[in-house]
Amino acid sequence: MTIKTPRLILRPWADRDAETLYKYAKDPAIGPIAGWPPHTSVENSLEIIRTVFASPETYAVTLRETGEPVGCCGIVSMPEEMAQGEAEIGYWIGVPHQGNGYITEAVNALADHCFNDLGLSALWISYADGNERSRRVAEKCGFTYQHTRHGEPTLLGDTRTVHYTSRHTVPKPS
């Protein structure tokens, strides 16, 4: 499955992407703000591709112009407070590509896919306190604040204050 936008192709991750993934995911400005550790090697990135990124509806955000994967966007979880037909979207993009609107474009395309093809009724985005870039992406994609939880655990072994936003599908006229 691929999702195309004017500037991007969202496609499944492949083993051949490990070196490029490592190039971006080793940067301490990427993972820790989202609650995951920087990648430690190309082999570590390959392991992530084969496990975490092998999940259904997880996409490499690639530039149409070059085919290079520069970030990730996908359905990351369905926490206990979500109703049937709801899911959470997660995303990140390499530092050199931040500020170009790529992740906003990818999240909007994934949201359209979730609502139109997967039949989901609501999507969530969560972001840790202080992650202003992620908050702005959620806002630009039409997600609205719902609640905040304190003491949410991360893969780094700490806890954070996390803000939750959601976006609901607009019912189609009958």
pLDDT band, residue 171 (cuts 50/70/90): low
The C-alpha angle with vertex 100 and arms to 19 and 109, in degrees rounded to 5, equals 85
Helix 42-50 with 18-25: angle, nearest 10 deg: 110
- The string of pLDDT tens digits covering residues 70-111 is 999 999 866 555 567 889 999 999 999 999 999 999 999 999
pTM of the model: 0.90
